[in-house]
Structure 1
Amino acid sequence: MASVKGDCVVLVKCLNPNTTVEKLQELLSQVGEVEYIEFGRDSLTGESTGNAHCAFESSSGAAKAIEELDKNILDGETIRVMEIPKSNLVFSVKLDSRPNNSDDNQPIYKSQTILQNPLKLSMFSGDPKPKGGDVTFEMWKHEIDCLATDDSCSPITLARLARRSLRGEAGQLVLNLNVDATVEEIVSKLEGFYGTVESGAVLLQQLYSARQGNEESITACSARLQLAIDEVEHRKGVSPNATDETLRVVFWKGLKNESLKQAIRHKYEIVRTFDELVRVARQAEQEHEDFQKFHSNSQRSRPNRVGVNATNLIDNKPDLIKELKEIKDKLKEMEMQAASKESINNSSRPVRPRVPRGPCYNCGQPGHIARECQAPLPPPQAFFSSTPPPLLPQPSAQPITPPQNMHVPLNRGRPLPRGGQ
């Protein structure tokens, strides 16, 4: 069984997607015998990714290819020939149908390198609430920026990856672009529809008013603030030097748990980085949750032994259960009878007629009293009449003669009291 050593394989990057195996083999054959060439293929479309793994017959041929063929031009593209790490090689055994020239006619086994395409973009459909495998526009754009810095991904390959990653409404928006549109044109087209339009100052104001939600954890809150400050910095709303201090202030003021804030106040004054402050806050939050959970378990009410024994006693005696049920039914029946009797008595009781009120001292009409009368009040009477009262007779100057029977006892004809004279 033949095998291919790791030091005999080289990695060729930045190939033109139209380059064939024959053209690449013709170039590599100038420095040594080539065993096989394996192009990297996209797992979805099967197109070439611009990379190829080439195995030489000897390690000297691979070393010579890296030294002499690196940065050569092939089909209008400057290719890169470099050494491939052994950890990236995955060998499998493949059966060849050709018979061996030996007498036993045993089949020949050949080793083949199987590669997976690492160049892949997440799907973007333009949905404001991504679900499934979709991501937001900012995340999709960030992945494109990362692949643009990869030497193994050519601009043409990146543009094709960007087109294949679009779904739904976002995919329809780029249909009017040319087939050879660059990735910059595709991103610029979608950024006008899905990119952030607020200025840096507006985003910074929104960041200052951010607060932790009622059901939001510290991890989720800090991640949301980090994404917001990144967008503010991208929009030139805050300088890179003030980003960390701004996050610390906003995060501290937005915490909803006052007891947690008091517990880490000394750490807030000491710690100078946002990441360290988040780590301290998460640790305090976890300790608080563990404390609450421990005390909630310890304060659980113990079962009442009397009630448990009584329940066991009732369960062991079915006759007692039957008697209790009969007593409850009897009490319920007596309550219903008492309620019906009371309703009958209330219905048979004669209704006392209402006595009319009045008459009124003001207007003289029955049905109301003077306090409820609507008629105007009479004018008040004067204390003295218009004519002066008659004068009393003046006493005369003649002396008054007493009556003759002045000494007649007052109790004449009546018995005297006991002991009286």
Structure 2
Amino acid sequence: MHNFSVVKPKTKSNVIIKQDPVHTDNKSNVHGGQFASFNFPKIQNFSGEQNKGEVSWPCFKFEVDSLLAEGLFSQEQILHGIRKAAKENAAESLRRLGVGVNLQQVLIKLESVYGDIESKEVILRSLYNCTQKPNESVSSFASRVEDLFDKAVGVGGVKKNDFEILKGVLYQGLRKELKHMAAYKHDTVNNYDTFKIELRKLELDLIDEKNSETKPCKPVVTPETSEINEIKNLLKKLNERIDKIENEKSGKYEHVQYIPYTSRGERRGQFYPNRGERRGFRSQVGRNFRPSRPTSSFTFARSCHKCGQTGHFQAQCPN
């Protein structure tokens, strides 16, 4: 009974280590001259091309940094998990490093190929000029702003816990109608996540308000609009009357022959062509001229009583 009542101290020989339920490779490897069961974490696939089912470089790097911070796996185990997760171009980059490299060398190599190369000024300019797109939701816009804020933290442009800058950038980049509605929340809500929740609520209210307007409202007829319409109708009627009058004129005078305009002097000469000749016939005519009608001397001359002819007397009658 005395022997059973004594609690034996825990030693390496009688302590059972519970392994984390992660991906386990049952093959035994030689590490440090000893045989051991080698466990490695399951990391999402990464090729650098962001294909379907793969993560981007920032997400991949965050996952590796989280494993290092937690301390559940050694660097050799994490390195083995990176080799299993690397695909295509990323796997080729690790292959060119060769064997016998450590985790830091692998991370530096991947950072040089897939890391951000933008300068601090460019990242800060993109952060402060970020605006919400017309059909972009608040969640998507906030995700873009947070990604730029994280890049700015990485290059030393802003501090990681400076959420007042993050909230201000998110508010300034909102659409005009949503920004006007969120002005009061921006002044009263200090927490960034709470402010983002309030923005989502306002966005939902705005969408419901637009969806409730099923029938389009008819525009209000102002006096100016009615006067303009009245003037248009009068002009239309006037044009119709002008067209009608022109058609009537063209039908009425269609059979009349067109006579060109002539001056007064031309018309005198046209209807009285020999007027000038008759005025000066005494100076222009010769001896053989015979008038168109008998003159007074011949008309009232005495005739011969014997032969009845004019121009001589009876005593001088040749007959």
Residue in 2 that maps onto 1:250: 169
C-alpha distance 180-39 of structure 1, shift in aligned 2 (>3 A)? farther
Equivalent residue, structure 2, for 1:290: 208
Query: Partner of 2:65 in structure 1?
Result: 145
Contact 1:233 1:239 (C-alpha < 8 Å) held by counterparts: yes
Secondary structure of the structure 2 residue equivalent to 1:146: helix
Aligned residue in 1 for 2:56:
136
Q: Between Structure 1 and Structure 2, how many residues are aligned?
A: 206
User: CA 1:291/1:216 → structure 2, altered by over 3 Å: closer, same or farther?
Assistant: same
In our comparison, the structure showing a higher alpha carbon Rg is 2
Whether contact under 8 Å (2:172, 2:179) holds in the other structure is no
Structure-2-length-normalised TM-score: 0.57
Q: 2-side partners of 1:184 and 1:200: how far apart? A: 24
1:261 matched to 2:179? yes
Which of 100, 123, 126 is equivalent to 2:45? Answer: 123
Higher helix share: 2
Question: Which amino acid in structure 1 is aligned with residue 160 of structure 2?
Answer: P
Once the two structures are TM-superposed, the CA of residue 121 in structure 1 deviates from its matched residue by 0.7
Identify, as 1 or 2, the structure richer in strand: 1
Q: CA deviation at 1:288?
A: 1.2
Q: Deviations over 1:377-419 (max 9, x none)?
A: xxxxxxxxxxxxxxxxxxxxxxxxxxxxxxxxxxxxxxxxxxx
1:253, 1:39 → 2: CA distance? 49
Secondary structure of 1:156's aligned partner: helix
Name the residue aligned to 1:220.
140
* Paired residues for 1:145-164 under 5 Å: 145-164=65-84
SS, match of residue 149 in structure 1: helix
DSSP-derived class of the 2:72 partner: coil
Cα offsets for 1:218-268 (capped at 9, x unmatched): 000001111110111111011335x31222222112112x22222221111
Q: Secondary structure at the match of 1:224?
A: helix
C-alpha displacement of 1:197: 1.1
Corresponding residue for residue 233 of structure 1 = 153
Given the superposition, is the C-alpha separation of residues 118 and 223 from structure 1 closer, same or farther in structure 2, using an over 3 Å criterion?
Answer: farther
Change (3 A) 1:270 1:206: same
Question: Unaligned regions of 5+ residues in structure 1, if any?
Answer: 1-26, 50-72, 78-116, 302-421
Q: Give the unaligned 5+ runs of structure 2.
A: 1-10, 218-319
On the 8 A contact 1:41/1:48 being kept in 2, the answer is no
Task: Tell me by how many angstroms 1:286 deviates.
Answer: 0.5
% identical equivalent positions: 25
Tell me if the contact between 2:132 and 2:174 (Cα under 8 Å) persists in the aligned partners. Answer: yes
The alpha-carbon deviation at position 216 of structure 1 amounts to: 1.1
Q: Equivalents in 2 of 1:41, 1:286: separation in Å? A: 42
Taking a change above 3 Å as real, the CA distance of residues 48 and 237 of structure 1, as seen in their structure-2 partners, is: farther
TM-score (norm 1): 0.44
